[in-house]
Chain A
Amino acid sequence: METAARMRAVPTEAGNRFAERALRLRVAGVLAFLLLLAIGFTSASPRFLTVGNARIIAFNAAILVIAAAAEALVVLTRNLDVSVGSVMGLAGYLAADLIARAPGLGFAVILVPLAIGALLGLLNGVLVAYGRVPSLVATLGTLSIYRGVTFIYARGQEVTSTKLPRWMLRGADAMVAGIPSLVIVAAVVVVILALLLDVRPRFRQLYAVGSNPQAAHFYGLRTKRVVLLAYVLAGFLAGLAGFLYAARVGTVTVILARGWEMSALAAVVIGGVSIQGGSGNLVGVALGAVVLATIDNGLVLLRVPEFWRMFIQGTAIVLAVSVDALIDGRIRRMLELRRAGRRL
């Protein structure tokens, strides 16, 4: 009886409006935080608020946006993917190595990291959805496995930037109408994903599965397939991010993108995606990545030692989670009131 009532409570019109309002509030919160940072840094350093600097922040954030989007898809389903960095590394390294050996492949080589990423994501998804391995454990394992495979494949050698084709290196640096190409790619990814999540039922199911897996199951959703989809997509995006990162950094080592899962998770959490799944949107995630890049950039301009960044990032995560819990608590209390009101 209780479960049925709870099931009914969420999909109602009023409930939806509240959730959406809270979500918009949360994204507004990230925006407000970003503005606060901007004001703070501008007053401390005149070089912050320039077009050139904004470009640098966007450039630095671009790849993280894509990695964070990957992570977000999985987190929405109430799961985790800590293998994002290793997927980026393996996909990026394979692509770089392949194009260095066979430059004739040209632009088609980009299919390789995408396919590999999707495959690696598939393995993650199978382990979590069908093997019923807890997602933290499964992706912790694949984090090590994928990184190890990168090393074994590479026999420990790096791919120097002189071996990479010009179009790859120049493409990563290129600008279109004054906007870095990587930023455009990131923006396109975010827009497409946001639209899909908003419109396509298959994607909306990510939210349903994340907010209440049992209810979603009883409702008739193929929860396992949905989780699998999330992981495959995440792997696909991580593969893309890995390729772009390899192109940007130039010298591709076996430790490419090590630790990126932490940054991606940080961006996701700061961007308002609930770690318990079921709520959040990609605009927030993109903003979360921009917040992290802004903090980095501001610290450099202020000549603050780089390791303060760790402290600030960590604190930002704790704050973000606290704010979410606060909002979540408010929503729940509102929904209880509504439900109580309807029964009278």
Chain B
Amino acid sequence: MANASWLLRRWEPLLLVLIVLAGAWSASLSPYYLNLDQLLDSSRNFVIPGLLAIGLVPVVLTGEIDLSLGSILAVGTILLAKLALLGVPLGLAVVALVLVGGALGLLNGVLVARFGLPSLAVTLGTMGAYRGIAFIIGSEEGYTDFGPGYLWLGETSLRAILPVALVFFVLVVLLFALLVHFTVFGRRLFAIGGSIEAARFTGLRVTQIKIQTYVLSGVLAALAALVWIGQYGSARADNADGVILLVITAVVLGGVDINGARGTVLGVTLSVLLLGTLTNGMGLANVPGPTQTVVFGSLLVLSVLISNVIRWRTT
């Protein structure tokens, strides 16, 4: 069954092929590309958007969306900066981080699931409100003084070659893959995304489950903040402003249906890798940012168009 149309029908292998092609293209653009050190180091291009994208998957599977992830990350980085200034030890700081991220996600979840508000509009609002909170706490300053250990997750490489952040990302991917595809919780996500009424009739606590997905995405965004300060060595309230575009691109490109009930964690991981490869290759060739975004925008639109066309031809 290894003919072309079968390949096209399965999204993940297609992504894999695209990654290889992107790698080849990147290698042709710049002689600095094919270098193990460089390749592993370039994971910093995609770890943070990747974490956010993985966290977004359960939310999208239930048919909702969360636009506020970048803002939650910013609140996270500012929080860490302030805690570092107060001399709070890393362990406590991480606990606070997770609690705040979870709380912000909880608010999203409650507004969407409990009060039934449309998630697009609500998270559009919280995107602004949370970003505002980051600015209110952090003002327009940049923070670079962090305590011992704060920067470890984002800046360390094991044996000077394997970035810890990349390992962290892989762990999160495995965890979420397990959660979404091999647990009852995961199956319920697909059920809710398929039909809320049907899910309700089978006794699922839809409200609770949706809230849980939002808390998860909030926590993950907060943890991404810890990676951020290690990678950049600084925190500002405008951190990750606009990252949500890349994140949604990664999710949709990964084969997740924006209306819910379809998609895989593997697909999103592969699309994150694809976008990271392209970013890395184009960056090394000093291709200007806006040109890069044309590539990404086109990729996003074409991927959906092509999958639509395939679906029409095979039904």
Contact = CB atoms under 8 A, between A and B. Distances in A.
Q: Do A and B bind each other?
A: yes
Interface of A: 80, 127, 131-134, 136-138, 140-145, 147-152, 156, 254, 262, 265-266, 269, 275-276, 305, 307-318, 320-322, 325
A148 B298 CA distance: 10
A45 B111 CA distance: 34
B253 to A, nearest CB: 10
Contacts of A316: 125
B303 to A, nearest CB: 9
Interface string B110-154: 010001111011101111111111011001100000000000000
Given A145-B301, A148-B297, A156-B288, A318 B237 contact: no
A17 to B, nearest CB: 25
B288 A145 contact: no
A320 B126 CA distance: 12
Identify whether the interface residues of B are mostly helix, strand, loop, or mixed.
helix
A82 B133 CA distance: 24
A152 B136 contact: no
B290 interface: yes
Contact of A140 (B291, B300, B305): B300
Contacts of B294: 144-145, 148-149, 152
Contact of B128 (A142, A145, A150, A317): A317
B124 A80 contact: no
Contact of B124 (A254, A269, A311): A269
Contacts of B127: 314
A313 B308 CA distance: 37
Interface string B196-208: 0000000000000
A98 B76 CA distance: 45
B118 A142 contact: no
Chain B interface residue bracket vs A: 35 or more
A321 B128 CA distance: 14
A315 B297 contact: no
Contacts of B305: 127, 131, 133
B258 interface: yes
B297 A318 contact: no
A311 B304 contact: no
A144 B237 contact: no
A141 B132 contact: no
B30 interface: no
Interface in B56-82: 65
B259 interface: yes
A134 B135 contact: no
Contacts of B298: 141, 144-145
Nearest to B107: A318
B280 interface: no
Nearest to A326: B115
Contact of A317 (B65, B116, B124, B131): B124
B252 interface: yes
Contacts of A321: 117-118, 121-122, 125
Given A311-B136, A317-B121, A137 B252 contact: yes
A302 B135 CA distance: 18
B258 A137 contact: yes
Contacts of A142: 297, 301
B245 interface: yes
A317 B125 contact: yes
B248 A140 contact: yes
